[in-house]
């Protein structure tokens, strides 16, 4: 079998998505998600101008060699744009392999390690009262795990809280980022009270998660972890920015609240110290941004050695193709932890058809060959791309901060 051509589709059904379609001489094609929120077109150009020409004529079954060819071939290793592009190709090649053999991709990765996959969703509100209602609504829908985010009184806009009712979407269409504001002190004073009320009302059984979105210093993160201990969180996510990983030791020394990190990582080298030094409990890398299924199997193996489980990033700013790839991966590995799931807009689901189902807090994979996802080109064309940016964040005195 040979790769004969490939193209990149950019569409915006509710939000921007980038998809690669790789064709073969056997009439089988594979799909991969190449979406990098806020920097979409850089991946499009990288794929079209540089990577696609390198994979023509290759046998799509040679995923290991093709991955190394692209990873080492660039010379300038790692980086989000590079690894998202490589990840999309790798995903599409596994899709082709599954379709060619008539089996779902998970069967090629290790087979079935579980019948269904636990997912967590988001609940958010402008304050505790609204957030509690959002949690109640998700529990009524059957979710077993909920990420709880709330606005903080006195802080104008907080990460994870939508301006209007409905789904949280941080990327705003326009030609430059919107600016948000932040106050750590107000946040730290507010969040423990929120979780106390949520536990009191909803009991111990529901898994609760929270995302600090890279906004704390190590000692502030330690305080939050410690103060949240009585509420037994499933995880606290991205407490501190991930560049200075040594500093997670301070957090670890002070709290038993489980820690999740890694949605912005793109290679095993970004997480190897955190994992091997026992500084995280869940690794958040995802298939699209982590360079594909091929390297993520290695991340999962490393994590398994150190009692770390997976918790793949699965926001609605990655397409259902990435979600499907995560589900095949999560079905096949032993140390699957949980899968993020925000749901998708109706427009998105007009464009993509999926081979998974979701019910009462769990995903079930269908036995469709390959990744089990498809894209409707005619529909996709109706939703035109427009530039969108993630926000930047400033402290109340105007200092630029982490978003």
**What positions carry a catalytic annotation?**
159, 213
Radius of gyration of the chain (CA): 21
User: What, of ligand GCO, Mg ion, none, does residue 97 touch, CB below 5 to 8 Å by kind?
Assistant: none
The span of 94-102, 135-143, 188-196, 311-319 binding ligand GCO (CB under 6 A) equals 311-319
By C-beta, is 84 or 247 nearer to ligand GCO?
84
What single DSSP character describes residue 168?
A: -
User: Are 45 and 116 contacting, i.e. CB atoms less than 8 angstroms apart?
Assistant: no
Nearer to ligand GCO, 29 or 120 (CB): 120
**Tokens at residue 180, please?**
């948000």
Closest C-alpha to 233, from 241, 242, 220, 224: 224
Cβ 122 to Mg ion shortest distance, Å: 10
CB 289 within 8 A of CB 266: yes
Render 297-339 in DSSP notation, one character per residue.
HHHHHHHHHTT-EE-----TTS-HHHHHHHHHHHHH-TTB--E
Nearer to Mg ion, 315 or 372 (CB): 315
Q: Does 317 bind ligand GCO (CB under 6 A)?
A: yes
Q: Counting contacts by CB under 6 A, is residue 172 touching ligand GCO? A: no
When CB distances are held under 5 to 8 angstroms depending on the partner's kind, the choice from Mg ion, ligand GCO, none that residue 390 binds is ligand GCO
Question: Is 263 a residue that touches ligand GCO (CB under 6 A)?
Answer: yes
- The binding track of 270-309 with respect to ligand GCO, each residue x by CB under 6 A or -, is ----------------------------------------
Residue 170 makes contact with ligand GCO by CB under 6 A? yes
State which residue, 61 or 401, has the beta carbon closest to ligand GCO: 401
Residue 153 burial class via C-beta count within 10 angstroms: exposed 0-12, middle 13-18, buried 19 and up: exposed
What is the distance between the alpha carbons of residues 321 and 95, in angstroms, rounded to a whole number?
Answer: 10
Query: Which helix (H) or strand (E) segment is 294 a member of?
Result: helix 293-305
User: 315 touches which of ligand GCO, Mg ion, none (CB within 5 to 8 A by kind)?
Assistant: ligand GCO
Under the criterion CB under 6 A, does residue 99 sit at the interface with ligand GCO? no
DSSP 84-101: HHHHHHHHHHHHHHHHHH
Single out the residue of 30, 87, 291, 315 in contact with ligand GCO (rule: CB under 6 A).
315
Q: Which is nearer to ligand GCO, 138 or 213 (CB)?
A: 213
Instruction: Find the binding residues for Mg ion in span 321-350 (CB under 5 A).
Output: none
Least distance (Å) between residue 397 CB and ligand GCO: 24
Which window, 51-59, 101-109, 310-318, 370-378, contacts ligand GCO (CB under 6 A)?
310-318
Interaction residues for ligand GCO, span 368-397 (CB under 6 A)? 390
Note whether 211 binds Mg ion by CB under 5 A.
Answer: yes
Out of 37, 128, 131, 322, point to the residue binding ligand GCO (CB under 6 A): 37
Angstrom distance (rounded) from CA 316 to CA 310: 18
CB burial of residue 211 (10 Å; 0-12, 13-18, 19+): buried
Query: Which C-beta is closer to ligand GCO: that of 60 or that of 262?
Result: 262
Query: What number of residues does the chain have?
Result: 403
Which phi and psi angles does 212 have, rounded to 5°?
-90, -5
Contact 290, 63 (CB under 8 A): no
The entry of Mg ion, ligand GCO, none near residue 218 (CB within 5 to 8 angstroms by kind) is none
Q: How far apart are CA 360 and CA 144, in angstroms?
A: 8
Helix or strand holding residue 273 (H, E) = helix 268-276
- Supply 395's token pair: 């402290």
Q: Does residue 169 touch ligand GCO according to CB under 6 A?
A: no
Closer residue to Mg ion in complex, CB, 14/311: 311
- Minimum Å gap between C-beta 319 and ligand GCO is 12
* Neighbour tally for 359: CB within 10 Å: 10
Binding site for Mg ion (CB under 5 A): 211
Binding site for ligand GCO (CB under 6 A): 37, 170, 211, 213, 263, 313, 315, 317, 340, 390
């Amino acid at each position: 079998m040979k790769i004969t051509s490939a193209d990149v589709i950019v569409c915006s059904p509710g939000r921007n998505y980038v998809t690669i379609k790789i064709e073969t001489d056997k009439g089988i094609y594979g799909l991969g998600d190449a979406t990098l929120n806020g920097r979409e077109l850089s991946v499009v150009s990288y794929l079209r101008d540089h990577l696609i020409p390198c994979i023509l004529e290759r046998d799509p079954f040679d995923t290991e060699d093709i991955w190394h060819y692209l990873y080492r071939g660039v010379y300038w290793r790692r980086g989000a744009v590079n690894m998202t592009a490589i990840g999309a190709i790798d995903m599409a090649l596994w899709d082709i392999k599954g379709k060619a053999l008539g089996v779902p991709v998970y069967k090629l990765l290790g087979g079935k390690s579980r019948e269904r996959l636990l997912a967590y969703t988001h609940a958010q509100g402008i304050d505790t009262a609204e957030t509690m209602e959002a949690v109640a609504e998700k529990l009524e829908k059957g979710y077993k795990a909920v990420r709880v985010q709330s606005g903080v009184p006195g802080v104008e806009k907080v990460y994870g809280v939508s301006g209007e009712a409905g789904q949280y979407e941080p990327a705003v269409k326009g030609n430059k980022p919107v600016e948000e504001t932040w106050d750590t002190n107000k946040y730290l004073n507010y969040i423990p009270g929120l979780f106390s009320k949520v536990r009191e009302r909803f009991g111990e059984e529901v898994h609760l998660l929270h995302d600090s979105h890279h906004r704390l210093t190590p000692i502030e993160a330690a305080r939050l972890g410690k103060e949240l201990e009585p509420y037994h969180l499933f995880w606290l996510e991205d407490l501190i920015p991930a560049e200075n990983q040594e500093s997670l030791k301070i957090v670890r020394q002070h709290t038993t609240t489980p820690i999740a990190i890694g949605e912005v990582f793109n290679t095993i080298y970004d997480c190897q110290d955190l994992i091997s030094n026992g500084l995280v409990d869940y690794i958040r890398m995802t298939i699209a941004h982590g360079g594909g299924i091929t390297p993520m199997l290695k991340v999962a193996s490393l994590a398994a050695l150190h009692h770390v489980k997976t918790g793949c990033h699965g926001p609605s700013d990655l397409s259902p193709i990435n979600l499907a790839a995560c589900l095949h991966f999560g079905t096949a590995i032993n140390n699957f932890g949980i899968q993020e799931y925000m749901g998708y807009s109706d427009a998105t689901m007009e464009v993509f058809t999926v081979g998974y189902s979701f019910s009462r807090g769990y995903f079930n994979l269908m036995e469709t060959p390959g990744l089990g996802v498809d894209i409707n080109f005619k529909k996709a064309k109706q939703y035109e791309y427009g530039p969108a940016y993630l926000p930047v964040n400033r402290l109340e005195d105007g200092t630029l901060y982490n978003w």
